[in-house]
Amino acid sequence: MASERLSSILDHLTPSKSGLAAITTQNPDDVVITLAIRTPLAKAGRGGFKDTSLDFLVYSLLKKVLDKSRIDPQLVEDICIGNVNNGKAAHIVRAASLGAGFPVTTGGSSVNRFCSSGLKAVQDIANQISMGSIECGLAIGAESMSEGGDRLEKPLHDEILKNQDACDCMQPMGQTSENVGRDFDITRASQDHFAAESYQRAERAQKAGWFDDEIVPINTVIKDPKTGEEKHVTISKDEGPRWGTTFESLQKVRPAFSQFGDKSTGGNSSQTNPPPAAAILLMKRSKALELHQPILAKFVGATVAGLAPRIMGIGPSIAIPKLLGKFHLDLAADVDVIELNEAFASMAVYCLHTLKIDHAKMNVRGGAIALGHPLGATGARQIVTGLSECRRQKKRILLTSMCIGTGQGMAGLFVNEQL
């Protein structure tokens, strides 16, 4: 341990590295990920989690964290859940953690930055570790799309609405998608082509078993809607991918937001899901080595950027350059795998073309159009999926990003260490 500290001190005294050399250097004080798992993403309405509550799913995932990591729960000092729709999320994560076997000394909190809430939870825990507030923490993203909602129940105060951007914060997400399609000439055909590729990639990944090492099976109960009879089931696979989806079949789907435009449909927009969840266990590298925990990846950093609310979908095109600029990285040359949330095909196509992303690197296993976009869970789910894909390809640098309602974008950067 003394030699590790000496190495860390020498690193601070020697000339600083930049770019890839800097972020791939391993130091005892690095914040690292030692476990990254998620539940399956079920279909809305009739899917495997239709009768599963958010609290039970969080509880079930927390038990899986303890089982998979074999970590002493006494060592986990804080748990942060990213969630959008449930105002009682902080209550849920605290109670669920106690029920799952964490001690009363483990804290619990919730964060909400809409679609980036899962990544925000990771950033929150990582920052606490980096600042020395805690040594080990757990970030969760979890969401039940049938609970509550992120729309305002009543208009904002008249004084606020005198500002047009503030007024635009109230636009439905479907309207913002149509704004992007219209303002930037993202055609219906280009959106359907992108969506078809997302479905086809998810189908290939599922058939090849690529998702298997990121998903933990969940035991739950399904009720027959007619008889009320309960059936115990184990959900172990994503239910969103529609095998056999083609561009031609998507062209037949009617616009979903016809009052705003004619380009976004149920086929080229993200799916909604019953409560899925993802978990990321973080600690300092020195702590992981002390505990003999496997180091999956290094957390490099994350950032947020704002933009006009009416075109919130293009947020990743603002956040990604901002984040990469902080670490002197080139998107084309330095980044290996990209998980960019497909809230709508309109924004995904815009970001793909504007940032000149190599599509072969982005959403290799499909994205939210095929898998689903449970708001608070997405930011954590992307990390789990992205790191699994990095391991499969034996690639190092993972970039995740998403647009955020009310006009924001967020991005996160990670180094895979399982080569």
Of 89, 86, 130, nearest to 284 by C-alpha is 130
The question of whether 373 is a catalytic residue gets the answer yes
CA-only gyration radius of the chain, Å: 21
- The residues that bridge with 220 in the sheet, in sequence order, are 233
Cα–Cα distance for residue pair 170/154, rounded to 1 Å: 10
Cα–Cα distance for residue pair 399/311, rounded to 1 Å: 22
- The residues that bridge with 140 in the sheet, in sequence order, are 81, 279
Contact present, 118 and 379 (Cβ < 8 Å):
yes
Amino acid code (one letter) for 139 = A
Of 219, 51, 230, 165, nearest to 406 by C-alpha is 165
- Catalytic residue of the set 136, 351, 373, 390: 373
Contact present, 164 and 240 (Cβ < 8 Å):
no
> How wide is the angle at C-alpha 11 spanned by C-alphas 10 and 12, nearest 5°?
90
The question of whether 403 is a catalytic residue gets the answer yes
The question of whether 115 is a catalytic residue gets the answer yes
- Catalytic residue of the set 115, 136, 351, 390: 115
**Left if phi > 0, otherwise alpha if psi is -120 to 50, otherwise beta: which for 175?**
alpha
- Catalytic residue of the set 80, 136, 351, 403: 403
- Which residues are known catalytic residues? 115, 373, 403
